[in-house]
């Protein structure tokens, strides 16, 4: 049964894909390998998992200001997440997607959901993200 959540568009774009969900914050710099797109922070619950081409849901970003650079690099090498779902998107993370759009012409849609919507997301679900309209549909 399809279920749609209304959220807030941070970076426009749309995609369909499998979702990977974590309740832990992520720092792309020092948290995601820029070559493989896998989580490489050994303390993170997603350690070892690839976020490349996935819809990646985490509550908010954290850590190093090089996160924007690492997200841009993932876009450059074609290993970026297909879309990002946050409760709140902080400027450094948003910057990575803005840079990617203007510098490489590659979109990484970012959508914010409220905490209730975020909690309904489960790893492995197939979702359609229309960040432009602020919508996420669990297929």
Partner 1 sequence: MRLTDQEKAILEGKHGEARRIALLILADLGELFGAEEMMDISQVHIDSSAYMVDAGLEFAERVSELGGRVAVPTSLNISAIDLKRWKEYRVPPELLEKCRRMEKAYLKMGATPTWTCAPYQQGMIPRFGEQIAWGESNAIAFANSVIGARTNRYGDLIDICAAIVGRVPRFGLHLTENRKAEVLIRLAGITNEMFGDKAVYPLLGFLVGEIAGDRVSAIEGIPKNVDVDCLKGFSAAAASSGAVGLFHIVGVTPEAQTLEMCFQDTRPKAVAEISPKMIQDVEQRIWTAKGDKLDLVAVGCPHFSFMEFRELARLMEGKKVHSSIAFWVFTSRTVYGWVKSSGMLKELTDSGIMVFTDGCPLQIPKETWHFHVMMTNSAKSANYCYSQTGLDVAYGSLEECVDSAVRGKICRRILPWRKHLKDIVSYPVNVKGK
Closest CB 3 distance from partner 1, rounded Å: 27
Helices and strands counted in the chain (H then E): 3, 8
- Burial label, 91 (beta-carbon count in 10 A; 0-12, 13-18, 19+): exposed
Closest CB 76 distance from partner 1, rounded Å: 5
Are 56 and 44 in contact, with CB atoms under 8 Å apart? no
> What residues act catalytically?
64
Question: What would the x/- binding string for partner 1 be over residues 107 to 126, using CB under 8 A?
Answer: --------------------
Structure tokens at 29: 């710099």
* 52 belongs to the binding site for partner 1 (CB under 8 A): no
Q: In what order do the strands lie in the sheet with 110-112?
A: 3-6, 135-138, 126-130, 14-21, 55-57, 83-86, 110-112, 8-11
* 138 belongs to the binding site for partner 1 (CB under 8 A): no
Closer residue to partner 1, CB minimum distance, 9 or 138: 9
Residues that bind partner 1 (CB under 8 A): 10-11, 25, 27, 29-31, 33-34, 40-43, 59-70, 72-73, 75-76, 88, 90-96, 98-99, 101-104
């Amino acid at each position: 049964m399809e279920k749609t959540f209304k959220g807030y568009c941070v970076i426009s774009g749309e995609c369909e894909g499998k979702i990977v969900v974590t309740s832990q914050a992520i720092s792309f710099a020092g948290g995601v390998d820029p070559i493989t797109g896998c989580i490489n922070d050994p303390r993170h619950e997603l350690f070892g998992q690839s976020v490349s081409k996935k819809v990646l849901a985490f509550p908010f970003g954290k850590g190093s200001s090089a996160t924007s650079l690492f997200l841009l690099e993932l876009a450059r090498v074609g290993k970026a997440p297909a879309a990002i779902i946050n409760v709140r998107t902080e400027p450094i993370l948003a910057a990575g997607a803005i840079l990617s759009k203007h510098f490489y012409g590659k979109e990484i849609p970012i959508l914010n959901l409220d905490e209730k919507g975020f909690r309904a997301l489960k790893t492995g679900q197939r979702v359609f993200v229309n960040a432009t309209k602020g919508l996420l549909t669990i297929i």
